[in-house]
Each structure stands twice: as C-alpha cells, then as structure tokens.
Amino acid sequence: MAKICVCLTGKTLARDLELLESNRKYVDLAELRVDCLDPDERFHIRRFPEMAGLPVILTVRRSLEGGYYVGGEGSRISLLAKGLAYAAADQRRNFAYVDLEEDLNVPSLEEAARTFGTRIIRSWHNMEGVDQDLSGRIKKLRRVGDELVKVSVTAGSLADVIGVYKAAKETAGIDKILTCMGEYGANTRILSEFLGSRISYTSIKNDDLKPAAPGQLEPKVLSELYRFREITAKTKIFAIAGFPLKFTNSPLFFNTVFRMEQADAVFIPIVTDSVESLISLAEEIGISGLSISVPYKEKILPYLIGRSERATAIGACNTLVKGVEGWMGYNTDAPGFSDSLLSFIGKKDLKGKKITIIGAGGAAKAAAYEVHRLKGKALILNRTPARARILAEPYRFAWAAFDSRGAVLMEKYSDIIIQASSAGMAPDTDSDPIEFYKFSGREVVMDFIYEPQKTLCLRRAEQAGCKILNGSDLLHRQARYQYGFFMNKEFPPSLVARVKF
C-alpha cells in the first residue's frame, strides 16, 4: 500500500519537527530536505530520525533536480555521509532511506547505507518534461535489487500524464516511486496506488517554507479529503475536469458523501488542456464519471455516444457517465440553477419576470433554457454579440453586447440579473462584467460563482440594497443531481443538510 510522505523544508530542525508534529497523524514517513536547512543546522542532521520518531528519508537535493543545494558536489556528499555516520544498532534511530541520484556513484555511501539498514532510493528528476521512453528509464534506473527506484517527471500537458500512467503499467513489477510534478500531475499524487508508487510526497504551504516540488498536496488534504489510504485498485474514480481549475469545491462535496456512505470511491480534480486527452485519460485509468467545468461544457459533446434531452436542448453538458459502449452526457446545471433561484425568490416559475443573463457559455445556456421553460423573458448580454444572438434567438430573447445599447436594454430586463460568466472567479477577483450598470436596489442578483463568496458584482449589488445569491447553493443542488447519475440512485435525503461547503 502506498504511503504518505511529508517533505520538511524548514530552515531549522526545530521547525521541521514542529511541522512534523502538527501533521503526524496524516503521514507515514518524512523526507528531511537538508538542502533547505540553514548551514549551521546541517551539522546536526544525524539526530533527526530519533527525534522524528518515524521513518525518515535523507535528501540533499541539488538545484539541477529542483532542490536548493548550491554548494559543490564534494560537500554535498559529505553531508550525506554525515547523515549516515555513527549508525545505531536500533535501526529506528537511523535514516530509513537515503535519496541518491542516478548519476551519483559513491560506493562508500552505498555500503554505509546497506550496512545499517538504510534503503537506497535511486532517483531521477526530469524538471523539463516527461522522458520519451519513461518505462525504459524506470527499468534501467535500479543498480542493485534492494534499491527503490524513484522517477519524478514534469507534466506539461494532460497527454504527458497519460504517458506516466502507461509507463506505470509497463513497469508494474518494479518496486518504485513514480511522481508526476506540476498542476497536470496532481491527480497522480492522489492515485499513487494506480501507478504502483510506494510513496506520495506532500508538503506544507507556509510563507517561511520553501516549496518542495510543484503540484504537491498538503498532508491533511491527501489523507482526509481524498482518503488516500483507503484507495485501492478497485476504488471507483470520479473527477471534475476543467481549466484552469484553480478552485473547486466538488471534491469536498463528493468525498464527504462517499465517506459518510462508506463508498469505495474517490473524486479527484483533473486540470485539462484538451477534451481528447481527458477522454483518453479517463479510459486509461477507468474513470466512472466526470463533472465537466469551464471551458469544456460545449466542447465535450462530440465525444459522447448519447446525451439527455435536456443536454441536447441546451447544447452543453456538465455530467458524463461511462457506460459499456461509451460516455453518456447530462446537464445538471439547469435544474440546479432553477431550483436554487426559485427557492431564493419564493416562486414556482418566472412568469412576468424580465431577466438579464450575463454570458453565453455552458452555464449561461443552462440558465437561458430554464428561464424560457419557466416562462420568463430574458436579455442575453455577452462580450461577443454574435454569441449572445445565437443563444437568444431560439428562445426569442433580446440580446446585446456590453455597450450603450446593452446598458439601455438591461434597464428594462432588471427584475433578476444572472451572472453566468466566469468573470470575477478566483483568482481573477477584480473583474466585474457589468461594471457599467448601476444597481437600483430592487434587483435580485444571482452569481454562478461561489469563490469568492461575494464577487465584485455581488458586493456592488448588496451595497445598493439588492437581494443577492452566490453559486454555492446552485453547486450543491447540481452536485446532488450529478450524484444520482454517478451512483445510479437518488441522493440520500438524510445527507442534504449534513453536506455543506
């Protein structure tokens, strides 16, 4: 079973011990990054395993491999030797592992490690990309049978990540650590079991700490949110896919529900740069269901073997379920939106309401569909007027760009204002797509965005006295519909009030 390792990058051993203590219940072992220690602290590294009280990896990472050690190679070897020297008969007081790079050839270090039970991790770090023959690299890396192979590569695309999963299958019989660095590779850290990787590295984010490696999760997140230790080869995988996917609460929602139901399932984020790569990855690792985020709700349609009547009518899909013959698509944004809005305003429909919908993407399409179904009248506003017109015409809605004409029309369609674009979403929180509009205070303003809780647009509306609603309730409702498709059963009513963001 894969283990969780926390990379300790403090400037002092005392700081590293403090970090370890606050995360002890989440981890199985620690990596002492000697390259991050102050020079005076490095004299005392030999004492660290005993102080730590769990298995520790000794690492002095060179800058070439993404570390912070900038001294000569001779002095670095001396540091490694210092960590292995004066080994105790009780192996728990020694370093459990020592990380030696592929090109480091120091027989005395290796002999010292093996004599006192310190296992050698033979490592290769590719900070530029993914090796063309990654499986060949893994197979050739180990020099002696008792070494643990470690290969860390940098994924520049989702296609790179697929290559890592394939290489993992091709080297299934090799005892290894396989790490995919970068935002695209974050999902591999959760699914170490699917890579056959012995260790998943984590790190603690704090202003006084140097980053250990790009894409690492925090120990608590990996252990508790993703229930890392419970993941097996039989665990069902569900995921949210989008770009840039900087913030999403979907993993929190679904993993909380899976934990409450004791379901053998995990929900992970997948940063996606192409729909084709997403489908290929899903096939490669056996994903059962996908939540589709921006900007792929429309682009995903050609990859489906079928779709629901609602998804077809809207022309956008946010939920995929894998069947025997392929992927079926559904849209849960629409009912999630209308359920949330109607509950907020205390109405059963939108008769007599004149509504402005901001945006023309997948979310706006879902909103327009529901507004029309519920007998409301709407204005579609979008930065690109042609897209606004295409969305508006089938429903005989008004449409305009963000210009003087749009501003005049918006005054007439202002009972409810629905912000369904990504403008204002974290991290771009300074954006307000309708900064030209002056709220009167009588409008109901709904924003699909839930992070931040109040966008600049919502804050302006609230200050003017408007009733405001962010996207949290919508997200919760549409996720419950997604759960129904994913698990082929109704969302448990007993959990509705218990699962909150």
For 429-446, write each residue's pLDDT tens digit.
999 999 999 999 999 999
Whether 449 shows a pLDDT value over 90: the answer reads: yes
Residue 91 confidence (pLDDT): 81
8 A C-beta contact, residue 160 and residue 179: no
Give yes or no on whether 238-331 and 334-470 have one common fold. yes
Whether 144 shows a pLDDT value over 90: the answer reads: no
- Please confirm, yes or no, whether 297 is among the known catalytic residues: yes
**What is 334-470's CATH topology?**
Rossmann fold (3.40.50)
pLDDT band for 15, please (50, 70, 90 cuts): very high
Residue 469 confidence (pLDDT): 98
CA dihedral 297, 301, 303, 305 (to 10 degrees): 130
Residue 325 confidence (pLDDT): 94
Whether 470 shows a pLDDT value over 70: the answer reads: yes
**Average pLDDT along the chain:** 96
- Out of 297, 353, 365, 377, the active site residue is 297
CATH 3.40.50.970 describes domain 3-233: no
8 A C-beta contact, residue 8 and residue 30: yes
Q: For residue 181, what are its two tokens?
A: 């660095």
Q: What percent of the chain has pLDDT over 90?
A: 94
Whether 500 shows a pLDDT value over 80: the answer reads: no
Rounded Cα distance, 214 and 152, in Å: 11
What average pLDDT does range 254-266 have in this prediction? 97
Structure confidence by residue, pLDDT tens digits, 382-438: 999 999 999 999 999 999 999 999 999 999 999 999 999 999 988 889 999 999 999
Residue 278 confidence (pLDDT): 98
Residue 188 confidence (pLDDT): 97
Q: Residue 358: left (phi > 0), alpha (psi -120 to 50), or beta?
A: beta
What average pLDDT does range 163-170 have in this prediction? 98
List phi, psi (to 5°) of 494.
-65, -15
Strands, sheet with 377-381, edge to edge from the N-terminal-most edge strand: 398-400, 377-381, 354-358, 416-419, 444-447, 467-469
Crossing angle of helices 158-170 and 275-285, rounded to 10°:
20
CA dihedral 330, 333, 335, 336 (to 10 degrees): 130
Whether 287 shows a pLDDT value over 90: the answer reads: yes
Neighbours of 461 (CB within 10 A): 27
pLDDT band for 317, please (50, 70, 90 cuts): very high
**What is 238-331's CATH topology?**
Rossmann fold (3.40.50)
The residues spanned by each domain of the chain are 3-233, 238-331, 334-470
List phi, psi (to 5°) of 406.
-60, -40
Residue 501 confidence (pLDDT): 60
Return the closest-CA partner of residue 235 out of 285, 277, 189, 184.
Answer: 285
Return the closest-CA partner of residue 155 out of 177, 186, 133.
Answer: 186
Whether 90 shows a pLDDT value over 90: the answer reads: no
Whether 344 shows a pLDDT value over 70: the answer reads: yes
